[in-house]
Amino acid sequence: MTTIRIGILAVQGAFVEHERMLRALGCECVELRKPSDIDRVDGLVLPGGESSVQGMLVRQLGLFEPLRREIVRGTPVLATCAGMILLAEKIRNDPRVYFGTLPIEVDRNAYGRQLASFRKTARFDRLGDFETIFIRAPRVVKKGDDVRTLAVVDDAIVAVAFRNQLAMAFHPELGRDDRIHRRFISLINARRDALNLERQKRDAAENGGGDENNADPRPLS
């Protein structure tokens, strides 16, 4: 098995913490700051920070189109906080849309100033209790039918999955619990397996219709 290579958007925000966690899990991490950095990545991380600043830098640095292409093509993405905002199809209190690949509507800074940061134990889909850390977090106020809810805190959806996109309003990279990052790696492995299978089928078809054509055509008797 070759090492998993993860591209981490590194223009602003909390990217180092994701990198540390993913390296500890055996992944190779590439910091993405220019288009040529997005080379043969198996997964992408969109970290927390300030979505408006990240969105602006992503465009200025020419990263927008290549990143969007990777996401649409099915490369697994782990997005946290500002990253979730960058993926959202709609932002309730902001006219901007960035990648717009995730059918959710989010409310930016949904918890107000007084409650700028807090911790809470949430039940995370298939993982059970997970200690969540929120920092000026958004929350999901609407979602498409095929978007799966992964965690709810105080009646608000705070983590979702949609196809190859895993997005959460909190910061799993700031705690010690790496189970969400492990789940992201499982998603990457599942996609790699699917792509390998497709490649094998294609190769077999290109080599003249599969194994039966390489067989001796004479009857067995």
Q: How far is the CB of 85 from ligand GLN (least distance, A)?
A: 5
The CA distance from 45 to 32, in Å, is 10
> 200, 167, 151: which is closest to 80 by C-alpha?
167
Residue in 81, 198, 206, 212 annotated catalytic: 81
Residues near ligand GLN (CB under 6 A) are 48-51, 81-82, 85, 108-109, 135-136
Residue 20 or 199: the one with the smaller Cβ distance to ligand GLN is 20
Query: How many other C-beta atoms are found inside a 10 Å radius of the C-beta of residue 49?
Result: 22
Q: How far is the CB of 189 from ligand GLN (least distance, A)?
A: 27
The CA distance from 31 to 18, in Å, is 11
Residue 29 annotated among the catalytic residues of the structure: no
Q: How far is the CB of 51 from ligand GLN (least distance, A)?
A: 3
Q: How far is the CB of 145 from ligand GLN (least distance, A)?
A: 26
The CA distance from 15 to 48, in Å, is 7
Q: What angle do CA 60, 66, 71 make, to 5 degrees?
A: 120
Asked whether 47 and 33 are in contact (CB, 8 A), the reply is no
Residue 93 or 121: the one with the smaller Cβ distance to ligand GLN is 93
Residue 173 annotated among the catalytic residues of the structure: yes
- CA–centroid distance for 192 within its chain: 15
Residue 53 or 190: the one with the smaller Cβ distance to ligand GLN is 53
Residue 44 or 82: the one with the smaller Cβ distance to ligand GLN is 82
Residue 81 annotated among the catalytic residues of the structure: yes
Just list the catalytic residues: 81, 171, 173
